[in-house]
Structure 1
Amino acid sequence: MDDAPAALPAASLLQLIWLASPALPVGGFSYSEGLEAGIEWAGLGTEQAASDWLVDQLQLSLARADLAVLAQAIPAWRTGDMPRIHALNAWVFQTRESAEFLLQTEQMGRSFVEWLKLHHEDAAKVFESLPASYPIAFAFAAARTAAPVRDACLAFAFGWAENMIGAAVKAVPLGQSAGQRMLGRLAAEIPTAVDLAITLTDDERQAFSPMLAILSSRHETQYSRLFRS
């Protein structure tokens, strides 16, 4: 007997790939999430150092915050639990540790909603009274697919990884081969990070990354910048 899980329908798989694409017009490419400041002040000017930093950021920050929110928001969207959606959205905004991180989730959420309005007739009404953070807007779209929560989280994390590698290639700077090595390393770490994220309860989520927050704050006054964060 074949015990392999059923394949995700092609339409849902393609929707996930689309949602994770850096080509989606939400502005993710314009943020380095503190990496640019880390290159100047935290010694991230090599492939190995930048790669180690991003793996840590995936495991200690993304997995325990935005990925955990996403894993909880998708089923909430599917059941129409709007009080839960509002609570998760408020948590995202309340836990941004710098002005730039707050700007990022606001701007990317707003841009994602504008994109959603082109593809989902009810998006304008749904988000009329909900200024959505990026993870909450992404969760809305992911909930409309047949994808399991884990697959949606994998797609979200890989989209984040592609954007961060793009930032590293430009800011360190690195060659394309180095970028692909770093992306391969992150891709290998993503399933474990997602598996952690989907187990976290409300009391276990956290957005406490002191050095990341310090570097993000310093980036606001960095003399020369390529990125918005």
Structure 2
Amino acid sequence: MNEGTGPDAASLLQLIWLASPALPVGGFSYSEGLEAAVEWAGVSTEATASDWVADQLQLTLARGDLAIVAQAIEAWRANDLTRIRGLNGWVLQTRESAEFRLQAEQMGRSFVEWLRLHHADAADAFSGLPATYPVAFAFAAARTQAPAHDGCLAFAFGWAENMVSAAVKAVPLGQSAGQRILARLARDIPAAVSRAAALADGERQAFSPMLAVLSARHETQYSRLFRS
């Protein structure tokens, strides 16, 4: 096989595509509490923004959505729809503010619409299932030949790019500062993915009370750029 061709190259390109902020699912329109943190939690510099986003990677994403993506990829590959519905329900039930739940639903719905253009079986797979974003993403990742671990890396990096973009706009920061924050997240993501993939159902968590407070305050923030 020639270098750079074949199933591995195709899967890599598909994961890069899935992680792209240009994917039409609306991720760029959410700050996941960061905009409110700029207003009320002292996020005003590159250092504080970097720490805040890095903490969110470890305390929220790695303990919840990343674990869901890892488990859902395997469930989709096994065609275990009962398991898929359980994982999807967990995401919906654990969103701690109205806008966080709306984000999971809107991005999931938009992702499913995109999937239907590229996967003939997507319509049947999501029939009667109001899919959340992590579960919809896992469906697409499961259709590649990439390991579930690599699918989670793509999910986490796509999240990181959206968060850095939000920080650049909301703090605001320069592009170089944004790239330094992204470099830090890229170093932290592999270990976060490994921890997430090792979590059992009872070990997943969705308890970030101060983030929930910031999100709730953001819903009535006087002036804002983002939907969450």
User: Same fold by TM-score, threshold 0.5 exceeded?
Assistant: yes
* Matched residue, 2:38: 39
CA distance in 2, matches of 1:73, 1:122: 16
- How far residue 151 of structure 1 moved from its aligned partner, in angstroms, is 0.5
**What does 1:123-202 correspond to in 2, within 5 Å?**
123-202=122-201
Length, aligned pairs only: 223
* Matched residue, 1:226: 225
* Matched residue, 1:212: 211
**Per the alignment, in what secondary structure is the counterpart of residue 45 of structure 1?**
coil
Once the two structures are aligned, what percentage of the paired residues are identical?
76
| 1:150-171 CA-partner distances (Å, limit 9, x unpaired) | 1100000000000000000000
**Per the alignment, in what secondary structure is the counterpart of residue 225 of structure 1?**
coil
- How far residue 120 of structure 1 moved from its aligned partner, in angstroms, is 0.5
| 1:155-211 CA-partner distances (Å, limit 9, x unpaired) | 000000000000000000000000000000011000110010000000000010111
* Matched residue, 2:64: 65
CA distance in 2, matches of 1:31, 1:215: 14
CA distance in 1, matches of 2:111, 2:196: 22
CA distance in 2, matches of 1:8, 1:190: 24
Question: What TM-score does the superposition give when structure 1 sets the normalisation length?
Answer: 0.96
Cα RMSD for the two superposed structures: 0.9
CA distance in 2, matches of 1:197, 1:71: 8
Question: What TM-score does the superposition give when structure 2 sets the normalisation length?
Answer: 0.97
Q: Which runs of 5+ in 2 are unaligned?
A: 1-5
- How far residue 8 of structure 1 moved from its aligned partner, in angstroms, is 6.8
| 1:24-76 CA-partner distances (Å, limit 9, x unpaired) | 00000000000000000000011100100111000010000000001100010
**Per the alignment, in what secondary structure is the counterpart of residue 190 of structure 1?**
helix
CA distance in 2, matches of 1:122, 1:205: 29
CA distance in 1, matches of 2:100, 2:172: 23
- How far residue 212 of structure 1 moved from its aligned partner, in angstroms, is 0.7
Structure 1 runs of 4+ with >2 Å offset: none
CA distance in 2, matches of 1:154, 1:121: 25
CA distance in 2, matches of 1:73, 1:167: 27
Query: Amino acid of the residue matched to residue 106 of structure 1?
Result: E
| 1:90-118 CA-partner distances (Å, limit 9, x unpaired) | 00000000001001000000000000000
Query: Amino acid of the residue matched to residue 145 of structure 1?
Result: T
- How far residue 128 of structure 1 moved from its aligned partner, in angstroms, is 1.5
